[in-house]
Amino acid sequence: MSRQLGSFLLSLISFISVHAQTDSLGAPVDTRPQADTVLPVSIDSLLLKTEHEASPARDEQVYHLRKGITLVYPKPKNFGFITDLPRDGWGYVKNSFSKESIKPWIMIAGATGILLALDQPIADELHRFSDRIHYQRNNSYKTVWELKAGSTKTSMLRIPNNLNSAFYQMGQGYISLLVGAGLFTYGKIANDYRSRSTASQLLESFFLMGASTQLVKRITGRQSPFMASSPGGNWHPFPSIKEYQKNTPNYDAFPSGHLATLMSSVTILAQNYPESRFIKPIGYGMVALLGLSMIDNDVHWASDYPLALGMGYLSAKTVASRSRKLLKSIGMNKNDRSSLSLTFVRINNQVIPGFIYSF
């Protein structure tokens, strides 16, 4: 299992890191877009013209992508994932309460309300299905590296013993951090601003998701399924800091930090590599598997997910939009765009909402 997971991660990092030739400053540059290539262009004295302004360019790289899309990346700052965090955090808050967010908030509230009524039936049916196919629902890991301090042992690296544990581990940030490390390494070697910027965005959004989901968890105080004292779990808003730390599973179900983190990572990769037609299907597939695994192992309810997905998506959009510029977008038609739509399915005489992703 560990070798397979490692091979998958290396393949994913290699797939995302687009091997593009970067021209040195002052050298002749061929900016004509090719059919299947990405061309980063270092800019010295070139003037970038948009519909509204023309200003002297900074140290930037321009990526001419297919479908007429052009992305511009400034040279990434050292420790930008820390220095940009306050500004992006404030932007995240402002975007949450903007006029454009009203419709998504209504959709999130509606989906959460529907799922609240179905939480226990969904969990029970998934448990029965897993038991019928002899699927191991419990989390089980093998510690391969631990630190000892006196009589205290701290696990530093664990590998999953079953498939459900592997799915659950996808939301703990390891994959996001490993992909980020691979992108950063490639970016330094190839002098690729996009790879380095994407790595910084992944780490920054990881911190942003950790802080924001913890804040909401400590406000809502919802029981995790394995701690539930009634169907669907009880809510204990605003638990004390001491009580929350002492009995965390009794208060930290809503929203899912795991799902928010993975959704944020997938969105950042998709925003920075829009020419890839595989990031979204693979990424959303991983999000779905993670969501099912956390219901199956009694860590989360289905209604913990709509807000988590919205938070992850918005934070990623906020960080990515600040980190690079979309210089132009022409030549796209309706058939070029992916779409996500809401649907409903009937299972055992119960109507359950779902999503259809077309690409």
| Amino acid at the residue 42 | S
Identify the pLDDT of residue 327.
Answer: 64
In a domain, 72, yes or no: no
pTM of the shown model: 0.75
Identify the pLDDT of residue 62.
Answer: 87
In a domain, 128, yes or no: yes
Identify the pLDDT of residue 175.
Answer: 84
Which residue range forms the structural domain that includes residue 280? 77-324
Identify the pLDDT of residue 318.
Answer: 93
Q: Which stretches in the chain have pLDDT values below 70?
A: 1-58, 67, 326-359
In a domain, 263, yes or no: yes
In a domain, 268, yes or no: yes
In a domain, 165, yes or no: yes
In a domain, 184, yes or no: yes
Identify the pLDDT of residue 171.
Answer: 83
In a domain, 200, yes or no: yes
In a domain, 344, yes or no: no
* Domain total of the chain: 1
